[in-house]
Amino acid sequence: MVAWWLQRWGPAPRANGGFTLIELLVVIIIIGILAAIALPSLLAQVAKSRQAEAKSIVGALNRSQQTYYLEKQTFTDNLSSLGLGISSNTANYQYVLSILPSGEAVTHRGWSTKNIHRSYAGVAYLSPAGDEPKVDTVMCTAENFTYYVGNLPIPDGSATAPHCPPGFLEE
Q: Kindly report the CATH number assigned to the domain that includes residue 94.
A: 3.30.700
Please tell me the predicted confidence (pLDDT) of residue 100. 82
Residue-wise pLDDT for 81-121, tens only, equals 898 888 888 888 889 888 888 888 888 888 888 777 888 88
Note whether residue 107 is domain-resident: yes
Q: Answer whether residue 18 is part of any domain.
A: no
What local confidence, expressed as pLDDT, does residue 11 receive? 64
User: Helices marked H in the chain — which ranges?
Assistant: 2-9, 21-72
The answer to whether position 113 is within a domain reads: yes
In-domain check, residue 16: no
Q: Report the alpha-carbon distance of residue 101 to residue 143 in Å, rounded.
A: 27
The number of domains in the chain is 1
Residue 140 has pLDDT above 80, yes or no: yes
Residue type, 71: E
- Higher model confidence: residue 155 or residue 124? 124
- For residue 69, CA distances in Å to 34, 42, 74 come to 53, 41, 5
Note the maximum CA span of the chain.
109
In a domain, 82, yes or no: yes
Q: Is the pTM of this model over 0.75?
A: no
Query: What range does the domain containing 148 cover?
Result: 53-170
Look at residue 60 and tell me if it is in a domain: yes
Cα dihedral sign, 9-11-14-17: negative
Domain assignment present for residue 78? The answer is yes
Residue 49 burial class via C-beta count within 10 angstroms: exposed 0-12, middle 13-18, buried 19 and up: exposed
- For residue 33, tell me if it sits in a domain: no
Return the higher-pLDDT residue of 62 and 100: 62
Those residues whose C-beta lies under 8 Å from the C-beta of residue 145, and which sit 6 or more positions away, are 112, 115, 116, 117, 118
